[in-house]
Structure 1
Amino acid sequence: MTTPIKFCSNASQFLIGDQLSEITDQLHAARDEAFADVDLLRSGGEIPAEKQPLDSGFIDLPQRLLDGEDGLVDKMLASAAALRTRIDRLVVLGIGGSYMGLRALFEALCDPYHNELSRDDRGDVPRLYFEGNNLDNDTMSSLLKMLKTQCVRPQELAERWGIVVISKSGGTLETAAAFRMFRDALGEYYGHQSHLAQELVVPVTGETGKLRDLSNALGYEHTFPIPDGVGGRFSVFTAVGLFPAAVLGMDIRAILRGAADITEICRTKPLGENPVLDYVAACHLLERDHGMDMRVLSTWGNRLEATGFWYDQLLAESLGKHERGATPLTVVNTRDLHSRGQQHQEGKRDRVINNLTISEFASEPLSIPEVAAGVDQDQLNRIAGKTIPELLQAAIQGTNKAYADDKRPTTDMVLPKLDAYGMGQLLQLFMLATAIEGRLVGTNPYGQPGVEAYKNNMGDILYK
């Protein structure tokens, strides 16, 4: 096993007596229930009403895919390789969990300026654009205009584009509307009846539903499933995240291996040796006993911001029910220390700061150059030779000390490296933690009744 994620916390300073040991049995029971939910789902038996919906299929999915279930990984890799060689721009249409996991992987694992690089420098993979995740007329118009003005010779690889459309039901209006518009633009470009207009569209959807029916009617050759028992916000390790990630050249087997390994740690290790349970324990006790129901995911680096936004949705939709549930907030430091740091340091004592850091960066450390004394007005010669990672580490330690001195709790989640294996660990850790905390507090972590209400109301307004 590659080096696992490390977790530590100063939460013990804030707990009264032996609270951590008092909930050990409850935590282990919640963990066991979350894993038993997988057996219940796979059994095909009747699911009790209090367990519905039951979307626990994400838990064992990484290992099942690695073991070759349905040959799906090989199919995705083959289809992704073929699509990658035929387009230079990929438009991904999806909303919520249908795009946020991919965006987290893309920003973490691809070059920060991916779309600006030449095809060679991109590793011979396409550029990536997201739409169908909002109802913003201007951004959609701008992307369509860019495609129409920069792609005028369909015989040239550099001017070919394709679509991956992602929706489990096909009934989400934002994505469905975008798909119709981009499908029409694709047909105008290649010819509505051309083989390219068919082959350069890959739907990822459920086994039944509007998008599945439309895909069958239009005869799309490559359509990948979103399995039953895996909800949208837990679907990053289905074709939802893995297929487009493979098109972008990411190592999806390493991603799955990281997810499978952290799942095994979660399943077998006790509190104190288990980063999933340790994270849940700290957050839960600080919320339950100290009213700290704001969870600030403090990502120390730009490339993890999208991971934070993905986690915001995961936590909010899973546990924000029945007038309960912590409120998630993502910040990027040191950037946001200059906007939100004051409030976190001296505002209400209603939050825990969960740091997310990286031990080893992908690029060579940049060093502060020394300059002549006559132009050292910024007085940086005194730290000349220090690297940017050293400056960042000083900022992390200094910020944590400031919070500790003011008796404000922090936790630290440390990724050994920002690579495919590490991201697999991290995303699965957060999904497992969310499911286990739901079972711990008696909230079904699956389903999204509040979101369904807005969708229904929206439909009533538009179709009346």
Structure 2
Amino acid sequence: MSDPLLSYDPAGVMLPENGITPDDLAGMVNQLEEVRDEVLAESQLWADGVTPEDKVPFDAGFHELPGRLLSEYRNRGADSEIGRIQVAADRLAGLVDRVVSLGIGGSYMGARALMEACCHPYYNELPRDRRGGRPRITFEGNNVDNDALRGLFDLLYPDEGGGIADQWGIAVISKSGGTLETAAAFRILLEKLSDACDDDPAKVAQRVIPVTGKSGKLFDLATALGCPDIFAVPDGVGGRFSVLSAVGLLPAAIMGLDIVKLLEGADAMNEHFRNTHADENLVLQYVGVCHLLETKRGCDIRLLTTWGKQLESVGLWYDQLLSESLGKQERGAMPLTVVNTRDLHSRGQQHQEGKRDKLVTNLIVDKFQRDEIEIGKSDNNQDQLNELADKTLVDVLDAATKGTNQAYRDDNRPTADLHLPSVNEHTIGQLFQMLMLATVSEGRLIGINPYGQPGVEAYKNNMNAILRS
């Protein structure tokens, strides 16, 4: 039996005021089909090695990447890229008890999302046998934070009789190797790693796995170090679209996640996007709802609300995806990740009674991974919870979800539900691919090139000029 697909329910946006109607959405079907055809045609152009001048920059290589990697794996096994990633991850996991993953933006956010979604909630705090024999994962090189890096040194170089990790390695992820935050962290940590390896270059090389371009500063440095495993950031795959390449697959494999299942989920979403009519196509329905609420009702703030903690970093990954792809030409919706019920006690007032500029998309998990916890009966009933003794925390979350969305609907505030049957590698692979396809489709719908991020380059150029002046 194949794993179930995600599902999308936009019923909560069908409101008499401040929402849309079923006819509005039905009226977009032909337009959405045309956009889907354009995205599929772009994927084929990329596969054929054709880059239309009017579409530059053109990074459509992400689309069919999952299918290509899976096909290669089924045909070549251990000699495929997936096979080599698994072997390298197992090799490093056997050498060390902690891996410092260096990268920023798309070079780290997907991996962080995979860890929080698919690993134990307290993965790094568990003993090694409870982690399946896999190393702890620490993310660095994603900011310029002197004290945080100093604090990491305390873990990597524990005082006598204390500390956590005494054997560690580095996974460094940067297409060019020129991004200063990651490059500076790598230089500093590489020196520390050399000290930890008694200045043995061969030992250092064994403990560093780079993911980078086929040329550039990091590639040259990794070659000089003699790293036995160097994985490529594929051509035509921009950073924020790279989670299903070695950029995300290597850290996932180091954590012991099933990267084949991850890619199979993405491939299943590709199949759905390609072959399902627009009125039942969850990618296109999502795009249509978002577009209509923005253009008809001014809802240019999109709240991705996760109910529970484990999908917060998925939301943060999506923040980058939408912001960098569509935030151009003084246009593009503003994405915000919300974690409920936590944020109901901080942002909830604004969402309920603030400006009517928000579309809420609830990311709802239908089946949790662990046994449900009952509130239970107590002789000390000062909290007056005995009447809820047989209710579980899942029941409480479900009531909070329904109650919150009912309050929004009663005030004509639009909400939609995106359901994950459960949280595992297959469903997260689906979700990643769905949101990437939706973002590209919306870009083409509104006439914005979803690739490239020229605005980000401005701060980089200024920072480098200031430092070198």
TM-score by length of 1: 0.96
For residues 20 and 416 of structure 2, the distance between their equivalents in structure 1, rounded to whole angstroms, comes to: 14
From 329, 338, 351, the equivalent of 1:331 is 338
From 345, 350, 373, the equivalent of 2:352 is 345
Superposed counterparts of 1:147-296, under 5 Å: 147-149=156-158, 159-296=166-303
From 299, 303, 321, the equivalent of 1:314 is 321
| Aligned-partner SS, 1:180 | helix
Instruction: Report deviation, 1:21.
Output: 2.1
Read off the aligned partner of 2:396 and give its amino acid letter: L
For residues 381 and 22 of structure 2, the distance between their equivalents in structure 1, rounded to whole angstroms, comes to: 53
1:54 maps onto 2:58 in alignment: yes
Matching residue of 1:431: 436
From 37, 53, 66, the equivalent of 1:32 is 37
CA contact (8 A) 2:158 2:165 kept: no
Instruction: Report deviation, 1:18.
Output: 2.6
For residues 465 and 166 of structure 2, the distance between their equivalents in structure 1, rounded to whole angstroms, comes to: 41
Instruction: Report deviation, 1:203.
Output: 0.4
Matching residue of 1:84: 93
| Aligned-partner SS, 1:297 | strand
| Aligned-partner SS, 1:348 | coil
Matching residue of 2:392: 387
From 307, 330, 355, the equivalent of 1:300 is 307
1:396 maps onto 2:417 in alignment: no
Q: Which runs of 4+ in 1 moved over 4 A?
A: 150-153
Q: Percent identity?
A: 52
Change (3 A) 1:306 1:151: farther
Instruction: Report deviation, 1:278.
Output: 1.0
Matching residue of 1:416: 421
From 152, 158, 161, the equivalent of 1:143 is 152
Provide, for residues 66-89 of structure 1, a one-character-per-residue CA deviation record: whole Å limited to 9, x for no partner: 111671011111111111111100
Matching residue of 2:3: 2
For residues 124 and 114 of structure 2, the distance between their equivalents in structure 1, rounded to whole angstroms, comes to: 15
CA contact (8 A) 1:151 1:160 kept: no
| Aligned-partner SS, 2:253 | helix
| Aligned-partner SS, 2:248 | helix
Unaligned runs of 5+ in 1: none
Change (3 A) 1:25 1:454: same
Superposed counterparts of 1:356-367, under 5 Å: 356-367=363-374
From 456, 465, 468, the equivalent of 1:463 is 468
| Aligned-partner SS, 1:168 | coil
For residues 179 and 76 of structure 1, the distance between their equivalents in structure 2, rounded to whole angstroms, comes to: 21
Instruction: Report deviation, 1:115.
Output: 1.1
Read off the aligned partner of 1:287 and give its amino acid letter: E
Matching residue of 2:76: none
Unaligned runs of 5+ in 2: 74-78
For residues 17 and 432 of structure 1, the distance between their equivalents in structure 2, rounded to whole angstroms, comes to: 23
1:107 maps onto 2:116 in alignment: yes
For residues 225 and 386 of structure 1, the distance between their equivalents in structure 2, rounded to whole angstroms, comes to: 50
CA contact (8 A) 1:90 1:128 kept: yes
Instruction: Report deviation, 1:263.
Output: 1.1
Change (3 A) 1:194 1:438: same
Instruction: Report deviation, 1:23.
Output: 1.6
Read off the aligned partner of 1:315 and give its amino acid letter: L
Instruction: Report deviation, 1:150.
Output: 5.9
| Aligned-partner SS, 2:132 | coil
Read off the aligned partner of 2:238 and give its amino acid letter: G
1:128 maps onto 2:132 in alignment: no
For residues 189 and 165 of structure 2, the distance between their equivalents in structure 1, rounded to whole angstroms, comes to: 18
Instruction: Report deviation, 1:152.
Output: 9.5
Count of residues paired in the alignment? 458
Matching residue of 2:14: 12
Instruction: Report deviation, 1:255.
Output: 0.5
CA contact (8 A) 2:360 2:416 kept: yes
Provide, for residues 319-363 of structure 1, a one-character-per-residue CA deviation record: whole Å limited to 9, x for no partner: 000000000000100000000111000000000011001011111
CA contact (8 A) 2:14 2:22 kept: no
From 446, 451, 456, the equivalent of 2:456 is 451
TM-score by length of 2: 0.95
Provide, for residues 193-218 of structure 1, a one-character-per-residue CA deviation record: whole Å limited to 9, x for no partner: 33211110000001121111111122
Provide, for residues 164-196 of structure 1, a one-character-per-residue CA deviation record: whole Å limited to 9, x for no partner: 000011110000000000000000110333321
Change (3 A) 1:99 1:152: farther
For residues 59 and 307 of structure 2, the distance between their equivalents in structure 1, rounded to whole angstroms, comes to: 31
For residues 286 and 422 of structure 1, the distance between their equivalents in structure 2, rounded to whole angstroms, comes to: 27
Read off the aligned partner of 1:53 and give its amino acid letter: P
